[in-house]
Amino acid sequence: MERKRHLLLSPGFCVLYILLLVVLISQLLLIPAVYTLKLDFWAGNILFKAIILLVMIALNWLLLKQVIVLKVTLSRPRLKPVIIWGLLFILIAWFTVTNRTPIDVLQAAVIGTIAAVPEEYLFRGVMLGGLIRAFYVAHHRHAKYQLLFCIGLSSLVFSLAHLSNLPAQGLVITIAQVIQAFGMGAIFAALYIRYGSLLMPILIHFLIDFVITLVSGPYPKEAPSDPNAITMTIVHAFLIAGIYLAIALRLFRRGQNNEKFLARLSHS
């Protein structure tokens, strides 16, 4: 009996409980409550994301107590690629911003923030950290594959979470988003492991959503109806996901030996 109780309170099960509770609280309580306030698109989304972040923090504290590492300690070799990628994103954003109004830029910044912070806290901070506690054993001969399993599973759940956008943007756009989100999730997970701070995936997640929002706008796009357009949308999603996965694999190869950070997550 004691062994069964210990299993049900293990990190893997606690991660599952937190995910289920976040979904239930969101769908059954928060979304209806925010809807009854009759707020506009922006106020409603900001309020919902702020409350759900507090819910995630509370659930982590009550059930899992997973350490969330925010401190950044970058040596020069690690700092160089961050600067390069940061400058690249700034360059892309600059060319995008020049054709946008200050309101467009502000809206993109809001979308980037309310997406990046709660999603990275849940899927990388809580879920990836909890999975590493549950399945990763340092110096084990299969440690590399255990870590890849944790990254893959957290990325899969992250991508499937985007199915919640189905009512707003239709099947084709949502499927494309789910495909791309798997690759994005792998990058964010690899960044967390590589640099040992949740601030890194939060920053990159913010920049990606910021640029995408500036290019496409903050509201859901109209789904394509032409068969050729549908095919190209899905093919494009797989290509983007493939690029993301290639980048994630490169980051993983450089970060899989970050034993001090992995030990900190494993022994929360």
| Of 222, 17, 257, nearest in space to 126 by CA | 17
* CB-CB contact of 148 with 155 (8 Å): no
Taking the C-alpha atoms of residue 131 and residue 136, their distance in angstroms, rounded to an integer, is: 8
**pLDDT truncated to tens, each residue of the chain (268 aa)?**
566 566 677 899 999 999 999 999 999 999 999 999 999 999 999 999 999 999 999 999 999 999 999 987 655 455 666 677 777 777 776 766 667 788 888 999 999 999 999 999 999 999 999 999 999 987 777 889 999 999 999 999 999 999 998 888 889 999 999 999 999 999 999 999 998 999 999 999 998 898 888 888 777 777 777 888 889 999 999 999 999 999 999 999 988 878 889 988 887 6
What are the DSSP E strand ranges found in the chain?
none
| 102-120 and 199-216 helices, crossing angle to 10° | 140
- Predicted TM-score (pTM) of the model is 0.91
HSE-up of residue 55 (Cα within 13 Å, Cβ side): 19
* CB-CB contact of 128 with 157 (8 Å): no
Q: Domain-by-domain residue ranges, the chain? A: 71-266
| Of 247, 204, 215, nearest in space to 86 by CA | 204
